[in-house]
Amino acid sequence: MLELPETCVIADQISKTLVGKTIKSAVANTSPHSFAWYTGDPAEYNARLVGKKITGSAAYGGRPEMHAGDMVISFLDGIRFRYLEVGEKRPDKHQLLLEFDDDTAIMCTIQMYGGLLAFVDGTVDDFYYNAAKEKPPPYTDAFDRVYFDDLRKSVKQTLSVKAFLATEQRIPGFGNGVLHDTLWNARINPRRKLDSLSDNDMEALFDSIKSTLTEMRDGGGRDTERDLFGKPGGYQTILSSKRLAYPCCNCGGGLKREAYLGGNIYFCPTCQKWEK
């Protein structure tokens, strides 16, 4: 799933690779997918997008977007991209294929679920999109310690750290993927309640949110995700399904994966202690 670091990486790649190209054709929903979301009828995408020039991109939470004339093409959740060169064979199965005037193309497929929205700029008013556009991302100076402490004070202190950080769009684009390394770096177990965190824990957590997300973005995204060119990111995850078989790189002990709050959590039971 796309989260904050990958969204920034992809938006940057769109801006370097696609800006200036004009959409020659748009084909949506060629391979119908039960959990693919479009704006209105995907059969209308070509009429809506043809002739539009890519002018820019933006990263909002977990949603990279492309600006094409007066239209916005917004990508969310489980989108996998592939940039196709001139003459490169176009695969048969995809959920969106945009052909450009220089004979390159971008293809999108959907993993478990995802959205490929195409709407006139300024016409969408939904909770997730607005939250992602309005709240300061942890990469900015506006996301400072005061902001983070206020965010903590705005919720019940019996919430777990995972629920606080990765639900309700409190930090848009911060999901169950980036959570694990962020908490491991801060040595905090995802099940711990907010009221159990000391000042030092809060400081470590705040610092880790900033530094871990920056490391992930600057590394080209996590190695469990793909970029605009279909390549895995260069940031090597510390805790993920890929790393579960390896020992903890701090203490050398075994790592754990458990189901918790609608998804798996990964942690080191020695470095990230939790008492019921």
Binding site for Zn ion (CB under 5 A): 248, 250-251, 268, 270-271
Min dist CB 253 to Zn ion, Å, is 5
User: What is the rounded CA–CA span in Å between residue 67 and residue 14?
Assistant: 10
Min dist CB 4 to Zn ion, Å, is 25
Task: Pick the closer one to Zn ion by CB: 167 or 250.
Answer: 250
Task: Pick the closer one to Zn ion by CB: 219 or 269.
Answer: 269
Residues 62, 71 contacting (CB under 8 angstroms) = no
Min dist CB 164 to Zn ion, Å, is 22
Residue nearest to Zn ion (CB): 248
Q: Which residues of 29-63 are buried (b: 16+ CB within 10 A; e: fewer)?
A: beeebeebebbeebeebeebbeebebeebbbbbbb
Task: Pick the closer one to Zn ion by CB: 8 or 271.
Answer: 271
Distances (CA, A) of 49 to 12, 32, 34, 68, 106: 21, 20, 23, 8, 14
Task: Pick the closer one to Zn ion by CB: 100 or 184.
Answer: 184
Min dist CB 249 to Zn ion, Å, is 8
> Cα-flanking dihedrals φ and ψ of residue 196, to 5°?
-95, -5
Terminal Cα-to-Cα distance of the chain (whole angstroms): 30
Beta strands in 31-142 (DSSP E): 36-38, 54-60, 63-68, 71-84, 96-100, 105-120
Min dist CB 266 to Zn ion, Å, is 12
User: What is the rounded CA–CA span in Å between residue 181 and residue 189?
Assistant: 11
Task: Pick the closer one to Zn ion by CB: 165 or 248.
Answer: 248
Min dist CB 208 to Zn ion, Å, is 15
Within 8 A by CB and 6+ apart from 257, the residues are: 241, 244, 264, 265, 266
Task: Pick the closer one to Zn ion by CB: 30 or 250.
Answer: 250
